[in-house]
Amino acid sequence: MTENSKKMTISGSRPPHQVVVLAYDGLCTFEFGVAVEIFGLPRPELGDNWYRFAVAAVDEGPLHATGGIRIMTEGGLELLSQAQTIVVPGWRGAESLVPEALCQALQAAHQRGCRIVSICSGVFVLAAAGLLNGRKATTHWRYTELLRQRYPQTEVLEDALYYDEGKVMTSAGSAAGIDLCLHIVREDFGREVANKVARRLVVQPHRDGMQTQQIPGPVARSRESQALGQIFDFLHQQLTAHHTVASLASRAGMSPRTFLRRFEESTGTTPARWILEERLHRAKTLLTQSQMGVEVIAAHAGFNHAASLRRHFHQHFALSPLEYRRKFTLPDK
């Protein structure tokens, strides 16, 4: 792919996607900064259709943020009516009440199809608005038990970096917000654009959402870490090929047993599950960003046939591929 074709992935006739992040008195500055850095920073090198960005104040007057910072915004909750994605940074306290006006604004946004995202304790805002009823969600490991107790209608994932429920997405502790926001960029613009953003941030371009939050020890020795990085690059490039633990271990220069252990320590999952998740991600991208038929998409994503793709979509998303396309493809404007 040429540099010009990469830019074309985020150029087009549609207006840029509008992202609005919440600000409030007692703002968590790291989580807020993650949203600003990924969605609000101008990126002329990526073309002319990058996100539009705004900050909506939940409270009136100057807002006090962690670290002695004061914030003034250009608008309030009325900005949420214009949003296509709303980001809720870590809330000012898991026990802090969520204003009813904010709950109503989020409910209205959700009903019209807006994507709503929480980082860390921001999940309590989504839960208070009723957006997590009957859904899976995650948050920082310190808050999972409290979230489960206060909102029993939510299926709480105790040890995930982030979870994508389609139009509702939640992430664990602060740095996991970077992973979720990069996941959103991949969904919107594709892997290569997300990798460019990650490279500018100097962070790992992709950590799977189901990777464990708490890794008890060092992931791998230096040589093994480099070898695993090369394996991930290889799998991304050869996603449609057939892979075995033995063949991947040989490529990494490890025994199969060591390779499995190091891979699971690094990702929190097995090679087979990781490959399946990557194939499903590629299929989702092709469904929403192309007009390819299901049979062609199955081949491009590494599934043996369309029936296999349909089966995995039903198991993971409770939708058929075509239902997913209809539900999550943004209309041209």
Same domain, 175 and 254: no
pLDDT number for residue 161: 87
Secondary structure class of 53 (helix, strand, coil): strand
Same domain, 43 and 135: yes
Q: Which position has the token pair 């990777």?
A: 211
Same domain, 188 and 240: no
Q: What is the 3-state secondary structure (H, E, C) of 14-48?
A: CCCCEEEEEECCCECHHHHHHHHHHHHCCCHHHCC
- For CA atoms 244, 246, 251, 252, the dihedral sign is positive
Structure tokens at 59: 């409270």
Range of the domain at 249: 222-268
Q: Give how many domains the chain has, as a whole number.
A: 3
Q: Are 140 and 149 in contact, with CB atoms under 8 Å apart?
A: no
pLDDT number for residue 107: 98
Secondary structure class of 221 (helix, strand, coil): coil
Nearest to 230 by CA among 190, 266, 181: 266
Same domain, 251 and 296: no
Assigned domain for 106 exists: yes
Per-residue pLDDT 10s for the chain (333 aa) are: 333 333 334 555 567 899 999 999 999 999 999 999 999 998 888 888 899 999 999 998 889 898 889 998 989 999 999 999 999 999 988 888 999 999 999 999 999 999 999 999 999 999 999 999 999 999 998 899 999 999 999 999 987 889 999 999 999 987 889 999 999 998 898 888 888 888 888 776 656 555 555 444 444 444 556 778 788 888 988 999 999 999 999 999 999 999 998 888 777 789 999 999 899 989 988 998 889 999 999 999 999 999 999 999 988 888 899 988 888 775 554
Cite the DSSP H helix spans in 208-244: 222-237
Which residues face 115 on adjacent strands? 85
| Whole-number Å distance between alpha carbons of 137 and 155 | 6
Assigned domain for 217 exists: no
Give 30-71 pLDDT, tens digit per residue.
Answer: 999 999 999 999 888 888 889 999 999 999 888 989 888 999
- pTM of this prediction? 0.65
| Whole-number Å distance between alpha carbons of 213 and 20 | 27
| Whole-number Å distance between alpha carbons of 239 and 245 | 14
Nearest to 26 by CA among 56, 63, 76, 54: 63
Non-local (6+) Cβ contacts of 141 within 8 A are 158, 159, 172, 173, 213, 214
Name the helix (H) or strand (E) containing 246.
Answer: helix 245-252
What CATH number should be reported for the domain holding residue 184?
Answer: 3.40.50.880
pLDDT number for residue 218: 42
Same domain, 186 and 277: no
Name the helix (H) or strand (E) containing 123.
Answer: helix 123-128
Same domain, 233 and 139: no
Give 293-315 pLDDT, tens digit per residue.
Answer: 999 999 999 999 999 999 999 88
Q: Are 58 and 106 in contact, with CB atoms under 8 Å apart?
A: no
Q: What is the 3-state secondary structure (H, E, C) of 146-196?
A: HHHHHCCCCEEECCCCEEECCCEEEECCCCHHHHHHHHHHHHHHCHHHHHH
Structure tokens at 222: 């230096």
Residue 5 phi/psi, 5-degree rounding, is -70, -30
Assigned domain for 144 exists: yes
